[in-house]
Amino acid sequence: MKKTLLACALTLPLLGLSGASMAASDTPVAGRFDYYVLALSVQPVFCATHQSKAECKTSSSAIKNYRSYHLSLHGFWPNKLGDASHSYGYCGVNQENIEKDKLHQWEKLPKLELSPSVRSELDLVMPGTQSNLQRHEWYKHGTCSKMSSDSYFQKSVQLVNYFNDSPFSQYLDDNIGKSVKRNAILNKFNEVYGPNASEHLLLSCKKLDGVEYLSGLSIYLRKDVDVHKEGQQQLFPDLQDPIYGRCDSTITIYDPDNPA
């Protein structure tokens, strides 16, 4: 397997994966996907350039602290091999709601049927719920998972907590305010999750005042991923081609107490 290079865009525009690609005209059907992408954000970096967003104005110090020092949920995307543009989405969603979603009118999308416990956990790990990000993620991506919205977000929360409670996340915490080598981040991921694990990791970066900050991570996971099972083979799919990108060789871990 070729060496992974890192990307700077959370949308993964340069992804190259083996397998037949899905034609744009194909109608997406729930459950017909090959792997997941767990998209995680570094919330303070997001808020540095989105200060007007509701989730960046939270007054609760406890929640602010969690969002500052943990990776936050952006999305959990079913995807198909060869689908570089993430065109697999909106499974069974009517055109009216698709248009609302594409116009970012997420507050106009139908409310989701989430249990109180899942909604409470989701609000903590996904700050964007204050802007109805969960509705966008469900209608665009979650509808293709073949799960209920409650099960989909329960699994999403479980995965976020799994990676946040790991030595890898602790490594990022330990380096807040410091500049680290990109390869050091990759090596730590390999150390925690097994040889070649970093070939399933895509780093995103954001440049603020000339400094390259880590802004997010995308982790490629098996369709049947189960965090209760140990071992790399239970986490990662078989990717045949490398992931290309342009993150600098040195990356700074943002310090929310000393913002850019």
Q: What's the CATH code of the domain at 230?
A: 3.90.730.10
Helix 95-102 to helix 133-140 angle (10° resolution) is 130
Residues 6+ away with beta carbon under 8 Å from 2: 241, 242
Q: Convert the pLDDT of each residue in 193-229 to its tens digit.
A: 998 899 899 999 999 999 999 999 999 999 999 887 7
In a domain, 260, yes or no: no
CA distance 73 to 151: 15
Bigger pLDDT: 259 vs 98: 98
Amino acid occupying residue 241: D
In a domain, 184, yes or no: yes
Lowest-confidence region among 113-117, 175-179, 253-257: 253-257
Strand partners, 76: 38
Q: Look at the block and give the residue holding tokens 């907590």.
A: 161
In a domain, 167, yes or no: yes
CA distance 91 to 103: 18
Mean pLDDT across 127-143 = 97
- Cα dist. 239→128, 136, 221, 226 in Å? 30, 27, 10, 18
- Rg over alpha carbons for the chain, rounded to the nearest Å, is 18
Say yes or no to pLDDT of 7 above 50. no
Say yes or no to pLDDT of 9 above 60. no
- Cα dist. 43→9, 49, 242 in Å? 15, 10, 27
Global pTM?
0.87
Number of domains in the chain: 1
In a domain, 70, yes or no: yes
In a domain, 11, yes or no: no
pLDDT > 90 in the chain, percent: 65
Please state, rounded to an integer, the average pLDDT across all residues of the chain.
Answer: 85
8 A C-beta contact, residue 7 and residue 246: yes
In a domain, 26, yes or no: no
pLDDT > 70 in the chain, percent: 81
CA distance 136 to 229: 30
Bigger pLDDT: 5 vs 172: 172
pLDDT for 242 equals 60
Q: Which domain holds residue 202?
A: 35-252
In a domain, 28, yes or no: no
CA distance 220 to 233: 12
In a domain, 259, yes or no: no
8 A C-beta contact, residue 73 and residue 79: no
